[in-house]
Structure 1
């Protein structure tokens, strides 16, 4: 499998980024180990988590990092992996926080849960919109120099604060973000394309999309009102079951049939066809779901396929 280099780093990743939000939530520890084994056995090496996954289970989070840490220790495979985690998310205990104090405390807690001495990619998960960007970047500078973090990235940061961060980094010799993690998929295009796409080009960022399958809607498993009551995430994706959502499903069915593929695979292949996208983030809870992810980098959509999907999703 051809790997891609995260821009402005020496990190090489396979083109699918596994989303660890399911660990400790819809997958228990043993099930998580099984999925991780299958993912890495297939040649993939990029795992994404956060210090707060899965806070909606216990109000604090940390379960996902703990499971990944135990798995890496048992498999003795830390050096074969690229591990991304995040700081700054909201929990019941605190609001969004990217202050220096919070970052310095949180990174040590993440390292302990992950049972590792370094994090490859450390994200500003959510911006608190009040901490000076210089303070945040100074904290990152400190933990990078200490060897705790290799590179930094940004997720839910406004275009204005993102630009401000790059200006401050340039002016003060502080670390720069190397990647962006935006909400982007066939049903959620406008914000990334209108607000972030040019910034990605200007700042030479790699892009790892989250909710790449629209929380499962783009798998095609929601075809009627009754389907939304069948899964944990069903009610959360009901909003997509409108004229646009149905048109996208129809387009996915058409392209899937042509390639003897699946809507999920085609949705990910559409993202990978965009030269700005390095590796979509996507989760799986079964072997069958994993197979649809594994197939995406092998599926080359032609211009007609892309036209059908683009027209349905705009």
Structure 2
């Protein structure tokens, strides 16, 4: 495992990390989470990603219980959470409206700290942009979390380049803590934001990326070529909205071609997809998801393919996937 600086900050994160979206509480209980966190940590993973809204707070509870059982030194691991949607039914907390306001954010951090059982959270994200709250209000609240010692770094997730730059410039102008990182979706079929829209931000602002969904929610494993298998993410009722994209005929045909290429390199298509995302020098870490230990171990083995991604191999990957990418 190699470690990369999180953007221009001094913090080093493992090039592969482990997230909890969909899986924790829904598919992974505390015992399984503890087992997978331990395996990831033993493989060199030091960053574990979460969000307030995952399983409506229960994902944070599961991860917190696992940390308590593992008893790792706090300096040895990095934890994140994200705020935007809220998990209660009061005004200012529930809809995609007014959920990056100061009141919500300053209370949300306390809730996450309690569920995770931590004194501080390393990375906190604004999980989506909020068009109903002035960016300056959000920037000041996020900066205050850091000043109060409840968080160490803050960033965004799925914000536009314009909004990220606006937040950074507000922080610069008022001597506040600046956003350090962005968490965008990034995989072989979803490239434009990372590779084009954010291109100026890496040099101008020193933006780091903690990317999610390297396997396109499982599409890039090949498991959906013949439909939705039982027990897969696509079979979950709360994931029904993604079934159409998982069964996209053209993309599944491309996955079949990628499988052949991956086999030539001595790996499988999931490992190839993860190694490809990891190859981007602007990506600080690629967040993995897993519902069982064997899946996690297989995904971590993607690092063995990294040296095999020669310019020729990358050209072949582009020829197969870039026409279908957005």
TM-score for the superposition, normalised by structure 2: 0.88
What does 1:88-107 correspond to in 2, within 5 Å? 88-89=84-85, 91=87, 93=89, 94-96=94-96, 97-107=99-109
Residue 185 of structure 2: SS of its match in structure 1?
coil
Is 2:62 the partner of 1:67?
A: yes
Residue 69 of structure 1: SS of its match in structure 2?
helix
Q: CA 1:209/1:244 → structure 2, altered by over 3 Å: closer, same or farther?
A: farther
Unaligned stretches of 5+ residues in structure 1? 55-60
Q: CA 1:12/1:203 → structure 2, altered by over 3 Å: closer, same or farther?
A: same
**Partner in structure 1 of residue 10 of structure 2:** 10
What is the CA-CA distance between 1:120 and the residue it aligns to? Answer: 0.6
Q: CA 1:242/1:20 → structure 2, altered by over 3 Å: closer, same or farther?
A: closer
On the 8 A contact 1:183/1:210 being kept in 2, the answer is yes
On the 8 A contact 2:158/2:183 being kept in 1, the answer is yes
**Partner in structure 1 of residue 48 of structure 2:** 47
- Counterparts of 1:281 and 1:237, CA distance in 2: 22
- Counterparts of 2:273 and 2:243, CA distance in 1: 16
What is the CA-CA distance between 1:212 and the residue it aligns to? Answer: 1.4
**Partner in structure 1 of residue 310 of structure 2:** 302
Unaligned stretches of 5+ residues in structure 2? none
**Partner in structure 1 of residue 295 of structure 2:** 289
- Counterparts of 2:200 and 2:317, CA distance in 1: 22
What is the CA-CA distance between 1:249 and the residue it aligns to? Answer: 0.6
What is the CA-CA distance between 1:250 and the residue it aligns to? Answer: 2.9
On the 8 A contact 2:7/2:209 being kept in 1, the answer is no
Corresponding residue pairs, total: 307
Is 2:267 the partner of 1:261?
A: yes
Q: CA 1:17/1:295 → structure 2, altered by over 3 Å: closer, same or farther?
A: same
Q: CA 1:248/1:204 → structure 2, altered by over 3 Å: closer, same or farther?
A: farther
TM-score for the superposition, normalised by structure 1: 0.92
What does 1:20-169 correspond to in 2, within 5 Å? 20-21=20-21, 22-54=23-55, 61-77=56-72, 78-89=74-85, 91=87, 93=89, 94-96=94-96, 97-169=99-171
On the 8 A contact 1:32/1:67 being kept in 2, the answer is yes
Give 4+ residue runs of structure 1 displaced > 6 Å after superposition: none
What is the CA-CA distance between 1:255 and the residue it aligns to? Answer: 2.0
